[in-house]
Amino acid sequence: MSKYDIIVLGSGPGGYVTAIRASQLGFKTAVVEKENLGGVCLNWGCIPTKALIKSAQVFEYLKHAEDYGLKVKEAEADFDAVIKRSRGVAEGMSKGVQFLMKKNKIDVINGFGKLKPGKKVDVDGKEYSADHIIVATGARSRELPSLPQDGKKVIGYREAMTLKEQPKKMIVVGSGAIGVEFAYVYNSMGTEVTIVEYMDRIVPVEDADVSKQLEKSFKKNGINIMTSAEVTKVDTSGTGVKATVKTKKGEEVLEADIVLSAVGIKTNIENIGLEDVGIAVDRDKILVNDYYQTNIPGYYAIGDVTPGQALAHVASAEGILCVEKIAGQHVEKLDYGNIPGCTYCSPEVASVGLTEQQAKDKGIDIKVGKFPFSASGKASAGGNKDGFVKVIFDAKYGEWLGCHMIGAGVTDMIAEAVLGRKLETTGHEVLKAVHPHPTMSEAVMEAVADAYDEVIHL
């Protein structure tokens, strides 16, 4: 039996980052992976979807070249080539993780891993042991009883990245990050897209003003949006698919070539031995303490399988914290109130901290500032005037409670707010920090200025 200091079950952005940090700390480390190194994020999620989105953005630029004083003969989307490029990007990233495994002298054990009592892992019949075993098995597309996926006409995100033909009509069920990103990609390439959202607004976890702006931008680009709506059944017996949608006005039947189910995720915790070891689970999540220890000594869990936000950067941060704690380092528990969320449709969406409504619900006296990109010189020059930056501060103490952005490149800008909140920056400090001109990032300073009645360019 092979013996390790640490075995990590799963090699997604939680697992492989955890393994690398463990190796850096001097632990003899192994990773168990049943499919591809990099997990869903690198192979079927974060990275290949961004490649698809980039192709869609370039295509949109070509279609609107005349807006920039350029003449381009009629542009055409080669759907197969777009898909092929996306897969190539994913394969390149996965090979990069392979290199990192070798560089850090981490053993990669290929196969399906199952936890065993006594700090052991069974991988397709062969046992391995470790002082510490970390579960990082991630999650997959969740299926609703009314929306069973057949992988052909009713699909999840994996199939949406590898369709053989571009659908003429697509229904996207759910308007979280996955739903709106795919809606944007397919709409940009010429598919007629309808979004069906159960809640009363799209991207419902975001600030209400962001939802309103994204709906406006999407509708301007020809995306149909149905909110307070629910798909109650689908009929795939014909050439396409018929979806029955229940709304406040009654039922209607939508016809399309494809229905994309983007209604959330389901954790990968079945058949991995949790019951055999006695690890506590509640509502599809493995229960852990602040340092990701389960109720059974020597077993840990990070990422989507735990109760925190199901985001790649959260999984990475949890894994690093977990192994640093194992190594005896002094670590601070993760602040889940300061985790940025990013959605890569166009316009992009990024946020951190409390929404305006959440702050009001807490009874906090707040100052709110908002700066539209229509008033930004850089946004105007770039032809990206949709969107805004919105900031929320505690009126009494100046604490930066929340920041919400929608517009071009805002997923790269949100880090300023994350760092500012981490360092307990006040509104006045942000306001007096000189921002470069002309940049999109100036909008952060201008939004803060608006909150304190000092805005110049609005």
Catalytic annotation, residues: 437
Token output for 234:
């689908």
Residue with tokens 């609107």: 64
d(C-alpha 111, C-alpha 286), whole Å:
22
DSSP one-letter string for 33-81: ESS-TTHHHHHHSHHHHHHHHHHHHHHHHHHTGGGGT---------HHH
SS3 26: coil
Residue 151 near residue 160, CB atoms below 8 Å: no
String of DSSP letters for 336-358: GGG--EEE-SSSEEEEEE--HHH
Q: How far apart are CA 190 and CA 314, in angstroms?
A: 34
For the chain, the 3-state helix, strand and coil shares in percent, each to the nearest 5, are: 35, 25, 40
Closest CA to 288 of 263, 262, 321: 321
317 within 8 A of 422, measured Cβ to Cβ: no
CB-count exposure of residue 357 (10 Å: 0-12, 13-18, 19+): exposed
Residue 54 CB burial class (10 angstroms; 0-12, 13-18, ≥19): middle
Strands (E), 230-282: 230-235, 241-247, 250-256, 258-261, 265-267, 281-282
The number of beta carbons lying within 10 Å of the beta carbon of residue 256 is 22
CA gap 325, 431 in Å, rounded: 37
Q: How many residues does the chain have?
A: 458
